Chain A
Amino acid sequence: MELVLALGIGILTGSGVWLILRPRTFQVIIGLSLLSYAVNLFIYAMGRLRVDAPAIVERGGAADPAQYADPLPQALVLTAIVISFAMTALLLVVLLAARGLTGTDHVDGDEG
């Protein structure tokens, strides 16, 4: 499982970095989205990988922390997903405005 996750994060990051260095605005946005997926997976992995472990402690009785997954990174990922989603939407609007004003989808606003 560790290997699959590590490969997934690596491939997403690599593709994302390659895409944000491209000259077209749409490629940059897709690249940033891929990067944010990679970062979300990374945050999740920082809570250690566990199979079949719930994050919520049942009511009543003392709980053994070793039986449970770390809930904090999951909460962080949730926040990070929401924020990056909103930022991508905003960037799309800016992209459309730039396309309308400059008549090109080059990141610098001209084909130069």
Chain B
Amino acid sequence: MAGVADHLIVMPVLLPLAASAAMLLMSERRRVLKRVISLATVMALITISVLLLRTAAASHDPLIYLLGDWPAPFGITLVLDRLSAAMLLLTNILGFTSLLYATARWDRAGPRFHALFLLQLMGLNGAFLTGDLFNLFVFFEVLLAASYGLLLHGAGRKRVTAGLHYVSINIATSLLFLIGASLTYGVTGTLNVADLAARIPAVAAEDLMLLQAGIGILGVAFFIKAGMWPLGFWLPGTYSAAVPPVAALFAILSKVGIYAMLRVLLLLPQDPSGSATHVVDEWLQIGGLATIAFGTIGVLSSKSLSRLAGYSLIISSGTLLASIGAGEAVLSGALFYLVSSTLGVSAFYLLIELVGRAETDMDTSPPADAVFDDEYVGVREEDQENEVGVVIPATLAILGGGFMFCALLLAGLPPLSGFIAKFAIINGLLDTGISPWTWTLAALILLSGLATIIATSRAGVDLIWTPDRPSRDLRLVEAVPVGMLLALCLGLMIFAGPIMRYMEQTADALDVTARQPPAILSDPEEGTTP
């Protein structure tokens, strides 16, 4: 039983931690070595995620890993099921493309980029794997701490001001998370998610309100992360201040909020007297609709491309929230949409920097002087001695084609994966029955697509086909990550059948988990009783 394969599940956390710690010991001058180490680490992470995905897809029950072999409700558990395996793979793919893109020049805009980047991946992987509410908090803090560093990477006035807001908001959010988690513990006496699912139905009627308050406060914390209206005003400004490869990775951060919400809010009892699930669904629906509307208006009104990308992220969050609230029939479509829209937004963040490079824009240009003078090596002065400077021809055609591809993807027009995702959601919605609410949601989803296509084509015409611009150079190492992301979206479209089936199984498993807790606690091999 014991073997390397059993311990594979903990590797997505340990591997980036070790690599990042090792990198802190190296001098900032050994840039090539750092690049090689971090790229190799992320490639190993992708391999591990693929293996884990295949394991998760093959087995019916979730895989449990007990850290230190402490029995389940007492020790720390890692849980791998279909959903977490898919999120893991998505995270590490985004990590790889963003990192590859960053090696073109952005990793030189400030010190310790690679260490922070790997820590960010560690936090994300951990948050997707953990089976414990308090560990979820700890991994949230890890990924947030790394994201503060990455957001401030490159420094400059705009980033520091945005960073100040981002850090303050997220510290306040973490405090809400703690209040919610401790209230839940106070009522149920456990923090293990599977144990919670087992104990919540037995909570006494007079304590039920406290429990709902606790989970509600947790929900607020997750909504802030996911960028739900009216808690998401910070998102577009913050993301547009970050350097492009970081913003491309941040595209998954809001999905962490959605993932955590899926895990925790589904725990609330479904009995007719409590009817708490119903309340959550209602909040998700209303909040989701408002978020889509806010994002749609934002997309139409944004002048810079990076803000446009931020608002399309908000639209995607809103669509996800509303369709999760719509019930289990829509869930598989929503999960497909999650993957497709995350890849699309990430590619868009990378692409807009290439398209808008000729502009001397505050958003994208690296700063002239440093804030912290330790080990700082500016981008500008080093630009000449570039090792990876294969310039590819026909830049304009490639950029324009990529831009169009991205726009179609984000707007959800056929024939790309965005269309399939939105079609699956609307199809699921119509299956749940015809109600005014269903029609509103379907109409809003389509309208948001229309707004996206209007806004992107306006910006695209302005940026790409305006003749009086100096020619841009496009490096291979920058074009490849964007191409990889778009190719993945193409793959999503071509293999939509098997992927949809996987997502349906995921949604079914989630639904079953919500109703009857899995056998984590009474694992016969461990001989523990809950």
Contact = CB atoms under 8 A, between A and B. Distances in A.
Interface of A: 20, 25, 28, 32, 35-36, 39, 42-43, 45-48, 72-73, 76, 79-80, 83-84, 86-88, 90-91, 94-95, 97-98, 100-102, 107-109
A94 B163 contact: yes
Given A20-B168, A76-B134, A91-B168, A101 B157 contact: yes
Contacts, number: 91
Contact of B171 (A43, A84, A107): A84
Nearest to B214: A46
Q: Interface size class for chain B?
A: 20 to 34
B424 to A, nearest CB: 39
A95 B164 contact: yes
Nearest to B372: A97
Nearest to A80: B178
30 contacts: A20-B168, A32-B171, A32-B172, A32-B175, A35-B175, A36-B175, A39-B178, A39-B182, A42-B178, A43-B182, A72-B185, A76-B185, A80-B178, A83-B174, A84-B171, A84-B174, A84-B175, A87-B145, A91-B168, A94-B148, A94-B163, A97-B152, A97-B372, A98-B163, A98-B164, A101-B156, A102-B160, A108-B161, A109-B161, A109-B164
A32 to B, nearest CB: 5
A46 B185 contact: yes
B486 interface: no
A83 B139 CA distance: 11
Closest 3 CB pairs of A and B: A46-B186, A109-B161, A43-B182
Contacts of A101: 156-157, 160-161, 371
Contact of A20 (B134, B172, B174, B191): B172
A39 B179 contact: yes
B303 interface: no
Nearest to A109: B161
B7 interface: no
Contacts of B372: 97
Interface string B150-178: 00100111001101110110011011001
Q: Is the interface of B mostly helix, strand, loop or mixed?
A: helix
A105 to B, nearest CB: 10
Given A73-B185, A100-B371, A90 B145 contact: yes
Contact of A98 (B145, B161, B178): B161
Contacts of A76: 134, 181-182, 185
Q: Is the interface of A mostly helix, strand, loop or mixed?
A: helix
A45 B178 CA distance: 13
A91 B172 CA distance: 12
Contacts of A91: 164, 167-168, 171
Contacts of A45: 186
Contacts of A88: 171
Contacts of A90: 145, 148, 167
B328 interface: no
Interface in B181-206: 181-183, 185-186, 191
B152 to A, nearest CB: 7
B379 interface: no
Nearest to A83: B141
Given A39-B178, A73-B185, A97 B172 contact: no
Contacts of A107: 164-165, 168
Contacts of A36: 171, 175
Nearest to A28: B168
A95 B164 CA distance: 7
Nearest to B184: A46
B138 interface: yes
A86 B145 CA distance: 9
Given A46-B185, A98-B160, A87 B167 contact: yes
Given A46-B186, A76-B182, A94 B167 contact: yes
B145 to A, nearest CB: 7
